[in-house]
Amino acid sequence: MKRRVVITGIGLLTPLGVGVDESWSALCAGISGIGPITRFDTTDFQTKIAGEVKHFNPEDFLSRKDAKRTQPFIAYALAASRMAMEDSGLIIDEANRDRVGVLTGCGLGGLSLLEDTCEVLRTKGPNRVTPFFIPTMIGNMAAGMISIQFGARGPNASVATACAAGSHAIGDAYKIIQRGGADAMITGGVESVISPSCVAGFGAMKALSTRNDDPEKASRPFDRDRDGFVVGEGSGILILETLEDALERGARIYAELIGYGMSGDGHHMTAPPEDGDGAVRCMSAALADADLSYDQIDYINAHGTSTPLNDLYETRALKAVFKDKAPSIPVSSTKSMTGHLLGGAGGVETVITTLTLSHGIIPPTINLDNPGEECDLDYVPNVARKTDVRTAMTNSFGFGGTNASLILKKYTM
């Protein structure tokens, strides 16, 4: 029999706050975390806004020495992991350390360090390149450092599937526990790439919002006036473990993870197919894995990027999967408040979905003033909704046509 897998700890670091409580309160209040970019001079850039993490002090989570040499994406992942571990009460010791693993998702890793190192190489030569360059730039080092920090010696890996990375990491960790490869996993997603090359690159694709004069209104999924996504940063980490172990140690159980689907569009480097076929197959696979029918989902945390094509095609996919029930299922995009955390999005949004189940509150899709063409579902516009949510799905779709869907439910014996 497949082992049941539950969520016993969560950690969250977003443009809305440091910690679960700050971010969740802002989400429920419909507050935007988007503002002017402060990391670099945006004079020559078309897009001058992003969702930056604010008031984060790495020394609150790391030693002063480690804080100075640790890249932001690693520091964010370590901070969220520490929150999640403390929240779960899970102790890693000699008895279980080989049965606790780490699996994180990250899209671009230490991109800012790469930019800086290229400049050092160009202006000062190869002998001035820091020996920490490679070890602190590569995306899997978030998982590596979490493993080192907590002494977790079970499966250790990192997923780099663009904007689906965090969700793929959680889904893969879920399957590892389910089949007996580990008893607990520290898992989620992280990203920190608010840098010149990132903003310039997405800007060149015309993928970013240029609503610079009103940043809090810039991310507007499913709205008629959406003009692109807003880059965000942060991390969302969960502690997954077997139900048996969680019950034995008296852990608080936030939710149970019951379904995971993945698919490939096989269509285009960046654009989803017009009928949302890849997303349809992905969501259908998650429902099948969870042994649920389409009419048993109470809430969907959408990928909802605020780009013209994604929001339309995801809506078409939702209608195809959920058929006659689609108009009555609450669907919201929390990217309207956090921005798009790229490889970290799935981790953050799975934590948010977990909190939705736990608190019975659906965060809204803010800035949804005039729904776009064909965007006619219940997107929970602008105001959070208090309602009983028993089973929820969260979607993540990435460049290259890589898709992930997860299904969570309230824990019951």
Q: Kindly list the catalytic residues.
A: 163, 303, 340
CB 171 within 8 A of CB 393: no
Q: Which residues pair with 235 in a beta bridge?
A: 13, 190
**The two structure tokens encoding residue 383:** 């105001």
**The two structure tokens encoding residue 335:** 């990217």
Scored b (16 or more CB within 10 A) or e, 15-48 reads bbbbebeebbebbbebebbbbebeeeebeebebb
Dihedral-angle region of residue 109 (phi above 0 means left; psi in -120 to 50 means alpha; beta otherwise):
left
Stated as kind and residue range, the H or E segment containing 18 is strand 17-18
C-alpha dist (Å) from residue 74 to 66, 77, 117, 145, 192: 11, 5, 17, 7, 9
Residues 6+ apart with CB under 8 A from 11: 19, 20, 79, 80, 81, 82, 83, 84, 85, 87, 188, 235, 236, 237, 238, 351
**C-alpha 363: how far from its chain's center?**
15
